[in-house]
Amino acid sequence: MTEDNHAALDTRRKRLLYRANHRGTYENDLIIGGFVKTRIAALSAQELDEIEIVMEFPDAELADWLTGRKSIPPHADSPMLRRIREAAEVGGASLRKNQACQDGEGA
């Protein structure tokens, strides 16, 4: 990868990170933003394309799909959308466990 290509990819990553953290709904900011933030440095150009496609869906639909309130419909289903949902499920379980410990339930 040339220096110009590397710089362009870095700029693209920064823009994607900003978009992922400023979706318009707090829930999606946490889910999508958290996913992107922890993985951004390692994502390939193809994976960035895939995340950008996911982020084109309306926030309300994404929130429903990513939290499991609704199934992902066939027209929207993709490996990247499933990766984000799986990360949200794992992250949600960790948050619930931490909260239980703070509330004294895990002792």
pLDDT tens across 15-54, in order? 999 999 998 889 999 999 999 999 999 999 999 999 999 9
pTM over the 0.85 mark: no
Provide the pLDDT for residue 96: 47
CA distances from 58 to 23, 24, 64, 87, 100 (A): 10, 10, 10, 20, 32
> How far apart, in whole angstroms, are the C-alpha atoms of residue 70 and residue 68?
5
Helix (H) or strand (E) holding 99, with range, is: helix 79-102
User: Which residue, 67, 105, 70, is CA-closest to 88?
Assistant: 67
User: Of residues 91 and 6, which shows the higher confidence score?
Assistant: 6
Provide the pLDDT for residue 95: 45
